[in-house]
Amino acid sequence: MNVRTDFDSELRRYTQVLLRACGIRVRDRVLDIGCGAGQTTRHAARRAREGSALGVDVSAPSIDRARELAAPEQLGNLVFEHGDAQTHRFPAARFDVAISRFGTMFFADPAAAFGNIAQALRPDGRLVMLVWQSRQRNEWIRAIDRALAVLPAAEALDPFSLAEPRTVTEILETAGFNGIDLTDIREPVWYGVDVPAALDWIRGLTCTSAALRRMEPRAADHTIERLRTMLAAHASADGVWFDSSAWLITARRA
How many distinct helices (H) and strands (E) make up the chain? 10, 10
Report pLDDT for 152. 61
190-234 residue pLDDT tens: 999 999 999 999 998 888 998 999 999 999 999 999 999 999 999
pLDDT higher than threshold 60 for residue 1: no
Q: Rounded to whole angstroms, how far apart are CA atoms 240 and 234?
A: 5
- Which one-letter amino acid corresponds to residue 213? R
Which range, of 1-10, 18-27, 146-155, 189-198, averages the lowest pLDDT? 1-10
Contacts of 88 (CB under 8 A, 6+ apart): 56, 81, 116
- pLDDT at residue 150, as a whole number: 73
| 125 band by pLDDT with thresholds 50, 70 and 90 | very high
Q: Is there a contact between 93 and 118 (Cβ–Cβ < 8 Å)?
A: no
pLDDT reading at 30 higher than 80 = yes
What pLDDT sits at residue 60?
A: 96
Closest to 86 in 3D by CA, of 100, 65, 68: 100
Confidence band of 149 (pLDDT split at 50, 70, 90): confident
Residues 73-113 have pLDDT tens digits of 999 999 999 999 999 999 999 999 999 999 999 999 999 99
| Average pLDDT across the chain, whole number | 94
What pLDDT, on a 0 to 100 scale, did the predictor assign at position 154? 58
Q: With 50 as the cut, is the pLDDT of residue 184 above it?
A: yes
Residue type, 99: I
Average pLDDT of 173-196?
97
Per-residue model confidence (pLDDT) at position 2? 41
Q: Is 123 exposed, middle or buried (0-12, 13-18, 19+ CB in 10 A)?
A: exposed
109, HSE (Cβ side, Cα atoms, 13 Å):
12
pLDDT of 155 reads: 60
Torsions phi, psi of 204, nearest 5? -85, -10
Percent of the chain with pLDDT over 70: 96
Element (DSSP H or E) covering residue 5: helix 3-10
Residue 4 has pLDDT above 90, yes or no: no
Q: What is the CA radius of gyration of the chain?
A: 19
Q: Once rounded to an integer, what is the mean pLDDT over residues 154-169? A: 88
Closest among 87, 240, 71 to 79, alpha carbons compared? 71
d(CA 130, CA 159): 11
Q: What is the DSSP string of 22-50?
A: H---TT-EEEEET-TTSHHHHHHHHHTTT
88 near 81, Cβ under 8 Å?
yes
Query: Can you tell me the mean pLDDT for 23-52?
Result: 97
Q: Please enumerate in sequence order all residues whose Cβ is within 8 A of that of 230, keeping only pairs 6 or more positions apart, or say none.
A: 143, 144, 146, 147
pLDDT at residue 170 greater than cutoff 90: yes
pLDDT at 151: 64
Interstrand relation of 235-236 and 95-101 (parallel, antiparallel or unpaired):
unpaired
- What is the pLDDT, as a whole number, of residue 112? 95
Q: Is the pLDDT of residue 5 over 80?
A: no
